Amino acid sequence: MAKGVFDGRMTRPAFIFGLFSSLAAVLIIGEGFARLSSPGDIRKAAFGQGSTQKCIYQLDPVLCADYRSYNDFHIENSVRLAELGEFNSPAPTWLFFGNSFVQAPGMLADTARGAQPDKRIFNLRQNVLLPLRAAQARQLLSAGLRPERIFFVLMPVDLLQIGRRPLSYITIDSEGAIATRLRFPDPPLNQIVVRSRLATIGWMRSGRSDGDPDFDRRYVSETPSPRVKSDLGRILSHLAATSRHFAVPISVIAIPNREQIFGRAGIGFQEVLKLLSQSAGLDYYDASDLLIGAPEKRSLFLPDWHFNERGNALLLRGLLEHLRTSDSLARAARAP
C-alpha cells in the first residue's frame, strides 16, 4: 500500500510544526493583547499608566517620592488647605498624619478637634503612602506653617505599605505619577520579562516581582523584618531632621491593632517603633497598655473594626496625658 499523508513518519514532523505554530500564534496574540490592553492594576504598577494623580510628583533622595512643589501639593489638597486658613493664625495648631484611623470622619483627628476647641486641629483626610505622609509634613512646614506639634500616627497595618514595596522600589514614571519599580528574575529569564509584556504580567502575577517577595504580612505586629525596620527607620530619621530644621516637635503615636488588643498578637511592632523613634530623637507615645487593658474591648470598635467614639476618646485621653507628663518633665529639666 502506498504511504500517504497519514503515515506516522510523515505526520510526526507536521504535528510538531503545527504544535509550535499554534503555540507561537497564541503567544503572539497574547503579547499583542497584553500591549494593547493590560489589566488596570498592572498598568498602574508596572507601566506607569492609570494613575489619577499625574505630573505632581518627583523623585526624592530619602523618601523616594515627593511633590514637585508646594503649588502641586496645594492643588491636590486645595479644599482642606482652604479650611485651614491662614498659616500664621495665632491659634495653636496640631497636625495629624496617619491612616484611616486618623483621617476618616469621626476618627482621632476629629475627636481631637471636638475635645480641644482652643486648638486648630488639621488633617488632610488622605490615606497616602507612608513616605508621602512625611513629605506632606515637610511641604507644609517649608511653606511657612509652624504648628505647635505634629502627630505621626502608626499602626502595624502601615508596615504593609513598605513591606512588599520597599522604599528603593518606589519610583516616578514619565507622567509624574508614583509607580513601582519591578524586581526582575535572575538571568537569563530577566531578558524575557524585560522584552515581553505578557511575560511581565505573568511575572507580576506570580508575586515574585515585588521588591521584597519574601515579606510575610502575618508578622508585622510581632516581628517586623530587618529590611522593614530599615525603611521605617529611614522615614523616622527624616521626620526627626524635619523637626529639628523647622523647630517643630513631632510625636510618633503607636496604636495597636485589634489582634493585639484582643491578645492574639504580640507587640513587637511597638517595641521596634519605640526604639527607632527614640534613636531618632522623636517623642514617642504607645497607646497599647491603655487599649489592651480596657474593659469590654469589643465596645471600642465600630462594626468595620475602626475605633468608635469610646475608643477614640480613650485614645485621645491617653495621648493628652502623655503630653502633660512630657511637658512637665521638660519644664523640670529646664529649671535651674
Summarised one tens digit per residue, pLDDT across range 13-32 is 765 666 566 655 555 654 56
SS3 230: helix
SS3 281: coil
- What are the C-alpha distances in Å from 311 to residues 96, 101, 105, 153, 252? 17, 11, 14, 15, 19
* Domain 92-164+215-329 = CATH 3.50.50.60: no
% of residues, the chain, pLDDT over 90: 65
Pairing of strands 93-97, 170-172: unpaired
pTM across the whole model = 0.82
The larger pLDDT score, comparing residue 258 to residue 55, is at 258
Kindly tell me if the per-residue pLDDT of 107 is higher than 60. Answer: yes
